Amino acid sequence: MSKIENKDCIFCKIAEGEIPAEKVWEDEKYLAFLDRQPLRKGHTIIIPKKHTETIFDLNDKEYSTLMLKAKEIAKILKSKYKTKKILVLVEGFEIPHAHIHLIPSDTPLKITK
């Protein structure tokens, strides 16, 4: 029996293992995996496994933990991809599940409006 919190949420399905993903890191409450449509090589998404629509809907402890996990994973990505920086992007319009994008990069992203 599935434990998916939101049956329509792709990230909940990834967290539960219903949809395969290339995992970068995982613990009991959080998951990091490679983006299927990366902006740069190594583009990683980190999510809480508990369904929450935005990072600002997380309680203070969950929010802080997510940010600290992102920092840990950014260090791993920076070393693995031998890059100057890890860009951080939080937007949340496409998938209504709290998530952070970590993007290895030596140059700025060009964001178009």
Burial 53-82 (b: 16+ CB within 10 A, else e): eebeebeeebbebbeebbeebbebbbeebe
pLDDT in tens, 65-85: 999 999 999 999 999 999 999
Q: DSSP state, 107?
A: S
Domains and their CATH numbers in the chain:
10-105 (3.30.428.10)
Q: Which of 43, 51, 97, 99 is catalytic?
A: 99
Among 4-13, 14-23, 61-70, whose mean pLDDT is lowest?
A: 4-13
* Per-chain mean pLDDT for the chain: 91
Placement of tokens 């309680």 in the chain: 59
Rounded-to-integer distance, Cα 113 and Cα 7, Å: 31
Say whether 43 is catalytic: no
pTM, 2 dp: 0.89
**Predicted pLDDT of residue 54:** 94
Question: Does residue 66 contact residue 84 with C-beta atoms inside 8 Å?
Answer: no
Which pLDDT band holds residue 35 (cuts at 50, 70, 90)?
very high
